[in-house]
Structure 1
Amino acid sequence: MAMIKMRMTGSQDDIRMISNLLQSLDGIEHVEEIGDLMPHMDDPDSSSAGLSDLSGPDMHEIEVDVPNAATGRKLREAVETLAFDLDMLVEFEQDEG
């Protein structure tokens, strides 16, 4: 079984739509959103605090176990299509194992 990790930008509603899509695909048994482990280095006393370029979309990471390569391709195509429709960025990383 392989694991596919996806990092994406978007709102919590966007991520919920992606998660619902993943869980609806045949062969997918495990979908998990991984918590944000990176500390945010925003300094409230910084001269750049509160600037608009610091308030971009949230970053999320989801892990999905796929039973085979065909299911992995189907997952990737479905997520890319929905992400395009939602104007989200998605990056895939596959761990064979």
Structure 2
Amino acid sequence: MMMLRVRMTGDESQIRTMMNLLEGMDGVHSVEEVADLMPHMDDPDSSSSGLSDELGPDAHEVEVEISNRSTAQKVQEAMDALAYDLDMLVEFESVDDE
């Protein structure tokens, strides 16, 4: 098995749509959103609190367990196409053999 790590930026409905695509693909064994372990320096008393730069779409980290590199290529192509249609950002971090 292999693990594809992906970072996606979008709202909850965009992320859910992308994860539904992944869950329905052949060769994809699991799709899991992983918790963000990095602390954020968001201070509600900050002078920048509530500014438009702070109100953008959320980033989500997802791990996709796949069967082989060919599946990884197909998953990446499908995600790129859907991301374009949904106007969201998808960044592929790595494909690791387990």
Is the TM value for this pair above 0.5? yes
For residues 57-72 of structure 1, the aligned pairs below 5 Å read: 57-72=57-72
For residues 1-97 of structure 1, the aligned pairs below 5 Å read: 1-92=1-92, 93-97=94-98
Bigger fraction of residues in strand: 2
AA aligned to 1:6 is V
Per the TM alignment, residue 48 of structure 1 is displaced from its structure 2 partner at its CA by 1.1
Q: List structure 1 segments (4+ residues) > 3 angstroms apart after TM superposition.
A: none
Unaligned runs of 5+ in 2: none
Calculate the TM-score normalised by the size of structure 1.
0.93
Calculate the TM-score normalised by the size of structure 2.
0.92
- Over residues 41-73 of structure 1, what are the superposed CA-to-partner deviations in whole Å (9 max), with x where a residue is unaligned? 111221111111111100001101111111111
Worse-superposed segment, 22-31 or 38-47: 38-47
**Secondary structure of the equivalent of 2:72?**
helix
The percentage of counterpart residues that share the same residue type is 58
Please give the root-mean-square deviation of Cα atoms over the aligned residues, in Å.
1.0
Per the TM alignment, residue 40 of structure 1 is displaced from its structure 2 partner at its CA by 2.0
Alignment length, in residue pairs?
97
Unaligned runs of 5+ in 1: none
